[in-house]
Amino acid sequence: MKIELLGKKLGMSQVYDDDNNLVPVTIVEAGPCPVLQVKTDEKDGYSAVQIGFNPKGRSPNKVNSCKKGQAAKAGVDPQQLSQEFRTSPEHDLQQGTIITLENFKDIKVVDVVSKTKGKGFQGVVKRWNFSGGPASHGSMFHRRGGSYGLCQWPGRIFKNKKMPGHMGNVSRTTQNLKVVKVLPQKNIIMIKGSVPGHKGSILTLRVAKKSKIEN
């Protein structure tokens, strides 16, 4: 059955595996995530499950009345964050069910969906790795993007032209990350390698979709 968890990136560390090799890991606080709402084909037109999450350090009471009412209907505490994921109509998740890392205990490979670090407005050298112009004095062309115009025809700039603009803060999926260690009692999972985002960023943890390793 397809299951996802919301989590919080705590940072990176390194641990020894079973073969005594030092492995870099990303430490994630994942769950517990109560099921706030179950959507069905008959009522909503598609099958999905909405889950909630309360990261440590955030008060569950500081939510609006809509979220409080939704949580009360499910019989759980108010949740700061919520997200839904598609499921098959044959799933056995019910409203009020708590999804924890126990469901990921035997999972070997996962996908992580998270947002990259925001870098604000950047030029073409940083954003697109342009080489830039001469660095000598008087060149007047150091870190510019060069010519953008197209003369009389078509008299405009084509879409997807590499230009200065907002960089980062976009959703990215890192696939097929190996699970090094799971600590269900502490809601901690250690994943081999790095994932996009800063410390404290919210991410989605799911069973790997394209892995060649059977979970």
Where are the domain boundaries for CATH 3.30.160.810 in the chain?
4-118+172-207
pLDDT at 30 over 80: yes
pLDDT, tens digit (0-9, with 9 covering 90-100), for 7-24:
999 999 999 888 888 999
CATH class of 4-118+172-207: alpha beta
* pTM for the model: 0.81
Please name the residues in contact with 72: beta carbons below 8 A apart, sequence gap of 6 or more: none
pLDDT, tens digit (0-9, with 9 covering 90-100), for 90-144:
777 888 888 888 888 888 899 999 999 999 999 999 999 999 899 999 988 999 9
CA–CA distance, 115 with 120 (Å, rounded to integer)? 14
CA–CA distance, 168 with 35 (Å, rounded to integer)? 31
pLDDT at 164 over 70: yes
Q: In this structure, what DSSP letter does residue 8 have? A: E
pLDDT at 170 over 90: yes
pLDDT for the residue numbered 150 = 81
Question: Which tokens hold the place of 99?
Answer: 């999804």
Question: What fold characterizes domain 119-167?
Answer: Ribosomal protein L3; domain 3 (4.10.960)
pLDDT, tens digit (0-9, with 9 covering 90-100), for 43-64:
888 888 889 888 876 676 778 8
Question: Which tokens hold the place of 117?
Answer: 């670090």
Where are the domain boundaries for CATH 4.10.960.10 in the chain?
119-167
pLDDT at 163 over 90: yes
> Are 113 and 206 contacting, i.e. CB atoms less than 8 angstroms apart?
yes
Cis peptide bond upstream of 32, omega within 30: yes
